[in-house]
């Protein structure tokens, strides 16, 4: 039988559409909640065996405890990252955790390249100027990517696609990854180095590693000081990889010349909602937005039709596999460290 009740949190219209379309093959009962999952909302999933959270939902030990005592057995993440899940608590409470390890590395890698080009050619300024009949070029001076050195931190699925695209531009590639991927050095002009060498030599640095306790604030005052003055820093992975206050100091000192981010460490309180009629209380975020050399997108790198379809299909297959007692190829275990390709 293909039937499980599934509580879907942080559900937007596009989630409903993609999950309902994919569900025609699975026939689960999908119950959509617009609210985020947290300690105040976990009770909504009472007597629902499967809970389906997204990136900014909270699956802390407290939340998992509430879910487990109300009959939830499966946490089916509809994303790749699982830094928001207390995995040890899930194991102790008998909650199985599955995720969507890969849906479209192209979606995220291509968005990363879009941020690079946006900053490099100042397209955000050019777009507004032309709309305003201002055709002056002062302030729009860019630089060729051809011949630049691009540092890729994390050379898994997304980092690899990003590296291949940047190779197409004629960039030299430096990679850093504690679990090197043999495919990386097969890309022309790509080689692995230790992190300090990458920081010291890259003109563009892009982060593509998961957020783990070990690499929280990987980009901090000390590592920023090791970068080339005027470096372009891009983060489409997880906000917690960057110490925001150190990045702001780096921007003010012009040590960081360009910043492109799709993720922000306090994004859970901001992203995915229309807050245009409210006063944003996050001073660091407001300050970041004010710099002329910063481009921010609100965690949309994954957001392509192809990726949504693949996320929905894999999420529902994970749930069906669980219900059928099949081997769960996308299970996340408490001791897992993402580094296996």
Rule CB under 6 A: is residue 122 a binding residue for ligand NAI?
A: no
Rule CB under 6 A: is residue 172 a binding residue for ligand NAI?
A: no
Q: Is 341:48 a contact under the CB 8 Å cutoff? A: no
Q: How far is the CB of 167 from ligand NAI (least distance, A)?
A: 17
CB atoms near residue 61 (< 10 Å) = 15
**Complex with ligand NAI: residue 49 or 151, whichever CB lies closer:** 151
Residue 299 falls in the annotated catalytic set: yes
> Considering only residues 174, 301, 308, 312, which one is a binding residue for ligand NAI as defined by CB under 6 A?
301
* Nearest-angstrom CA–CA distance, 76 and 322: 10
* Nearest-angstrom CA–CA distance, 110 and 116: 10
Q: Is 95:64 a contact under the CB 8 Å cutoff? A: yes
Residue 146 falls in the annotated catalytic set: no
Rule CB under 6 A: is residue 196 a binding residue for ligand NAI?
A: no
Rule CB under 6 A: is residue 162 a binding residue for ligand NAI?
A: no
Q: Which of 238, 313, 323, 341 is catalytic?
A: 238
Rule CB under 6 A: is residue 157 a binding residue for ligand NAI?
A: yes
**Complex with ligand NAI: residue 72 or 223, whichever CB lies closer:** 223
Rule CB under 6 A: is residue 181 a binding residue for ligand NAI?
A: yes
Rule CB under 6 A: is residue 159 a binding residue for ligand NAI?
A: yes
Q: Which stretch binds ligand NAI (CB under 6 A): 13-21, 36-44, 64-72, 206-214?
A: 206-214
Q: Which of 267, 326, 336, 337 is catalytic?
A: 267
Q: How far is the CB of 314 from ligand NAI (least distance, A)?
A: 13
The neighbouring-strand residues paired with 235 are: 207, 261
Task: Give the end-to-end CA distance of the chain in Å, rounded to a whole number.
Answer: 33
What residues between 266 and 295 interact with ligand NAI by CB under 6 A? none
Rule CB under 6 A: is residue 106 a binding residue for ligand NAI?
A: no
The neighbouring-strand residues paired with 224 are: none
The residue written with tokens 């300024």 in the block is: 125
Rule CB under 6 A: is residue 235 a binding residue for ligand NAI?
A: no
What residues between 248 and 267 interact with ligand NAI by CB under 6 A? 262-263
**Complex with ligand NAI: residue 56 or 172, whichever CB lies closer:** 56
Count residues binding ligand NAI (CB under 6 A). 34
What residues between 36 and 75 interact with ligand NAI by CB under 6 A? none
> Considering only residues 49, 53, 151, 154, which one is a binding residue for ligand NAI as defined by CB under 6 A?
154
- For binding to ligand NAI (CB under 6 A), which residues are involved? 80-81, 102, 105, 108, 153-159, 176-179, 181, 208-212, 214-215, 236-238, 262-263, 299, 301-302, 338-339
Give the active site residues: 238, 267, 299
């Amino acid at each position: 039988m293909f039937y499980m009740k599934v509580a879907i949190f942080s559900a937007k219209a596009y989630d409903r559409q993609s999950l309902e379309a994919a569900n025609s093959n699975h026939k689960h009962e999908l119950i959509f909640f617009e609210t985020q999952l947290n300690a105040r909302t976990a009770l909504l999933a009472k007597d629902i065996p499967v809970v389906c959270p997204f990136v900014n939902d909270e699956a802390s030990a407290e939340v998992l405890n509430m879910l487990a005592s109300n009959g939830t057995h499966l946490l089916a993440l509809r994303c790749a990252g699982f830094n928001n899940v207390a995995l040890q608590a899930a194991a102790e409470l008998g909650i199985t955790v599955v995720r969507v390890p890969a849906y479209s590395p192209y979606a995220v890698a291509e968005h990363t390249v879009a941020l690079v080009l946006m900053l490099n050619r100042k397209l955000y300024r050019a777009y507004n100027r032309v709309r305003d009949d201002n055709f002056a070029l002062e302030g729009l001076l860019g630089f060729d990517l051809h011949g630049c050195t691009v540092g890729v931190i994390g050379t898994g699925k997304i980092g690899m696609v990003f590296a291949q695209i940047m190779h197409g531009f004629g960039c030299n590639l430096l990679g850093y990854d504690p679990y090197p991927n043999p495919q990386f050095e097969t890309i022309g002009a790509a080689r692995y180095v230790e992190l300090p060498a990458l920081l010291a030599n890259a003109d563009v640095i892009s982060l593509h590693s998961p957020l783990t306790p070990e690499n929280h604030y990987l980009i901090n005052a000390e590592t920023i000081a090791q970068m080339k003055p005027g470096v372009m820093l891009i983060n489409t992975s997880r906000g917690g990889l960057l110490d925001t206050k150190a990045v702001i100091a780096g921007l003010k000192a012009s040590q960081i010349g360009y910043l492109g981010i799709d993720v922000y460490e306090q994004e859970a309180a901001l992203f995915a909602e229309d807050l245009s009629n409210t006063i944003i209380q996050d001073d660091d975020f407001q300050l970041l937005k004010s710099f002329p050399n910063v481009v921010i997108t609100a965690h949309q790198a994954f957001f392509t039709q192809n990726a949504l379809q693949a996320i929905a299909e894999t999420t529902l297959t994970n749930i069906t596999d669980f219900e059928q007692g099949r081997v769960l190829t996308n299970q996340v275990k408490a001791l897992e460290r993402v580094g296996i390709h």
